[in-house]
Homo-oligomer: A and B are copies of this chain.
Amino acid sequence: MTYNKITDDILTAIKQIVGEDFVVTEQDGLERYSHDETEDLRYYPEVVVKPAFTEQVSALLKLCNEHLIPVTPRGAGTGLSGGALPVMGGLLIAMERFNRVLNIDEQNLQATVEPGVVTEEFMNQVAAKGLLYPIDPASKGSCFIGGNVSHGSGGPRVVKYGTIREYILNLELVLPSGEVIWTGANTLKYSSGYNLTQLIIGSEGTLGIVTKIVVKLIPAPTVDALMLASFNSNDDACHAVSAIFRAGIVPSALEFMERRGIEWVIKNDGIAFDLAEKDVAFLLIEVDGNNQDTVFTDCEKINAVLEGFGCTNVLFADTATQKEELWRIRRVMGVSVKANSVYKEEDTVVPRAALPQLIKGIKEIGTKYGFESVCYGHAGDGNLHVNIVKAKMSDEDWNTKLKDGIRGIFELTVSLGGTLSGEHGIGLVQKDFMPIKYSPIHFELWRGIKNVFDKNYILNPGKIFNQE
């Protein structure tokens, strides 16, 4: 597709749609929208627009569709795969003013929110009513729920409560033509027609722009316990993960962390934490429920399992503050790694029991290519975030040979029955690796679907796969 530039006439039309105050054209203002949290990539849009109503998004898309202007929808810009980068320039639609929680329906345990609501703010609002929305990525304090939908985001609690796909019931969607539909119904399930709601989840803004989200809520558990288990090897820690489920327990979180990650959190974030000399791998394990005794019993069972896998120490969080500190270590790990080194983040997911092989293989690939890595993630889901650290690698190797190393990581992931990205999406930076997992037939089907929704290919071009 050959796209057009935004002319003065089109800019005038854009300003008429949203009002002059919500259009950004000067370089300084555009800078903020030229990057997300993906490495140090920079792509400037021609114009940024900040609509606040569905009708405005509709009019903007209709305009861009008629004039073949590329459109990049953007949430909070916390993405790790470059999904919000306007690689073709054009119009960037920033959804930050879509920040209203429209309704929390305590009769039906549902809520309707706009995509620009910060995930944690929404979680806090429903928590105040004794309810739980369990999809909380590490960036929950800043990411938008709309971005979570676009990326099929997860977070630590997926392991017990299910994926975001189970909590998104219905979406208001603006198509590139400007037409507005609700994808499904505000019901806990339905079986009528191809499920457009599920198709949009994880489509990274390439099929339409979501303007309202209906989510399912559940009663919040009233009790939880958190423990941090230490191990002398990654292998022991990873083997323990599967064993916990086989013992009949489904924790509400089961996170893996490497020592280096914790060291950098301590250094960067000033969190006090004693690391025993030989401990190299850690599992952060949460159990929740409505009964203190049951939760304790589960903890004891887990403890017994851990002992069988060479666990050297289990630290129980005694207070709410201690729980928050342990969780904080896990949540800021990505930011701390980034603060300590040039890095690249890759997102891998395998069947849970393949984790030991995955992490062992990643280290071997690192040795071969000369990079180090800090691994952590949602081990209970088999989802490992691999932070590749430049260490002693030369700039030249980092810029050229590293790509082969990353390819090696994904080839290993796929060979273990896994795939690229558990929850970060493919965006821009993982796109070239997609053929490792998917066949030409997959790409053909995806391109066909893309064409059904977006005949002029204006929406988020250059992302996930070669769309045309």
Contacts and interface: CB of A to CB of B under 8 A. Distances in A.
Interface of A: 105-110, 130, 151-154, 158-159, 162-163, 165-166, 175, 179, 181, 184-196, 198-199, 201-203, 207, 218-220, 222, 242, 245-250, 289-291, 293-294, 297-298, 347, 349-354, 381-383, 417-426, 430, 434, 437-439, 441-442, 445-446, 448-453, 464-465
Contacts of A291: 291, 293-294, 297
A291 B248 CA distance: 12
Contacts of A418: 185-187
A154 B420 CA distance: 30
Contact of A191 (B354, B421, B465): B421
A186 B381 contact: no
Contacts of A419: 184-185, 187, 190, 192
B421 A192 contact: yes
Contacts of A421: 190-192
**Residue in A162, A190, A203, A298 with the greatest tally of chain B CB atoms within 10 Å:** A190
A195 B194 contact: no
Nearest to A448: B452
Nearest to A195: B202
Contacts of A298: 290
B289 A191 contact: no
Chain A to chain B: the 10 pairs with minimum beta-carbon distance, closest first: A448-B452, A185-B419, A198-B198, A107-B353, A152-B191, A219-B248, A108-B351, A291-B294, A192-B420, A187-B349
A190 B448 contact: no
B193 A222 contact: no
Given A108-B242, A181-B439, A248-B222, A201 B192 contact: no
Contacts of A245: 109, 219
